[in-house]
Amino acid sequence: MAALRVPVAGDAASGQAIFESKGACLTCHSVAGHGGNLGPDLGRIGVTRSVKSLRLALVDPDSELDKQYFTVVVTTKADQTIRGVALNEDDLSIQIRDSEGNPRSFLKEGLKSVSREQRSLMPSYAYRLTEAEIGDVVDYLRTLREPSPRIAMRTRQPHRAYSNVAFLDRIGRDAEERPDTLIGALEIPIGATVAEIGSGAGYYTWRLGRAVGPSGKVFAVDVQQAMLDRTRETITKHQLSNIELVLGEESDPHLPSGALELVFIAHAYHEFSNPESIIAAVNQSLKPAGRLVVIEFAEGHAFGPQDKAERMTEEQIRAEIEPAGFDLDRVLDIAPIEHCLIFRSRAEGRPQL
């Protein structure tokens, strides 16, 4: 296994040149409609992977390989072997994309074996590229942030209801939302000051409190005192003393200026009656390059509220947050029922403090 290298600063333009020539990455991957189709399209890789993960994928492609890209080896009864990635499979047949990029189908009755190797068809670039070149390619990959082509405007339906609070403590929520994995993936530094808007029953609040540790601090904001009371019950149960409850207003979350490293909003943004004011206040409360996390039920997924107004598409979230002075930094694909978008405050978009 190739050793991980220390990240070096790179240059996206030279990274693109390496990507397209020396690296020959377009043989298998595509960007903006150009390139091969054996590997995944990389048009959005800059938001779906972290710098660390991109670097790892280049030097050790097998390490974080999605099982979708395991190498499938099909051996026919005539001892012909075809390698590729799986497109689909059932008990009777398997469909693969072969190493030339062609979709092919095999009836299993005509095969001697089907096996999967837990490795990628992608070669490691650990010794094919220099450290500086890998850094450049990573820098280039971070610039790949294609949006989805179309934005359907959402129906705004401001909402504050305590009546459905039981939904927030439902059995099975951990399996549906994987909260510990999600908070872990945010890589919040110990000692950080963060805020949650719409703390509800405290489901994420106490996990944020645990993540920042005793030296850190969490502001838990809600517009309903009844919800804050529920938050208080939860944090008491978890014996956390680093969380301050804040009764916010419809247009003002009452957060300190320039003090926060991260603001977290889960399943609450769609309920805001004045999201523009809230997000402007969030931006003002963040430190330079501070992060905003927005989680919403994914439109179109079978699970979740039936009311469309309680779901948002990724494009709808981006269309409202990005113009308010944020850049999309990452998209976490941890729970299929929801979108988790991480934005970073843009210096030029920040209001004057």
The residue ranges that bind another protein (CB under 8 A) are: 30, 33, 37, 41, 87-90, 92-93, 95, 97, 101-103, 105, 107, 148-150, 152
User: Measured from the CB of residue 150, what is the shortest distance to another protein in angstroms?
Assistant: 5
User: Measured from the CB of residue 38, what is the shortest distance to another protein in angstroms?
Assistant: 9
Q: How many CA atoms lie within 13 A of 151 on its CB side?
A: 11
Concatenate the DSSP letters of all residues of 210-230 into one string. HHH-TTSEEEEEES-HHHHHH
In the chain, the N- to C-terminal Cα span, in Å, equals 49
Residue 2 or 319 with smaller CB distance to another protein = 319
Closest listed residue to residue 39, CA positions, set 14, 71, 7, 16: 71
Closest listed residue to residue 94, CA positions, set 222, 321, 83, 236: 83
Residue 31 or 194 with smaller CB distance to another protein = 31
How would you class 212 by CB atoms within 10 Å of its CB: exposed for 0-12, middle for 13-18, buried for 19 or more? buried
User: Measured from the CB of residue 23, what is the shortest distance to another protein in angstroms?
Assistant: 20
Residue 53 or 95 with smaller CB distance to another protein = 95
Q: Specify whether the CB–CB gap between 261 and 236 falls below 8 A.
A: no
Residue 114 or 259 with smaller CB distance to another protein = 114
Q: Specify whether the CB–CB gap between 241 and 268 falls below 8 A.
A: no
Residue 97 or 350 with smaller CB distance to another protein = 97
User: Measured from the CB of residue 108, what is the shortest distance to another protein in angstroms?
Assistant: 10
User: Measured from the CB of residue 62, what is the shortest distance to another protein in angstroms?
Assistant: 23
User: Measured from the CB of residue 48, what is the shortest distance to another protein in angstroms?
Assistant: 17
User: Measured from the CB of residue 206, what is the shortest distance to another protein in angstroms?
Assistant: 39
Cβ contacts of residue 255 below 8 Å, gap of 6+? 195, 219, 221, 246, 263, 281, 282, 284, 285
Place of tokens 């850094």: 135
Residue 54 or 85 with smaller CB distance to another protein = 85
Three-state secondary structure call for residue 62: coil
Pairing of strands 286-298, 260-266: parallel
Residue 51 or 87 with smaller CB distance to another protein = 87
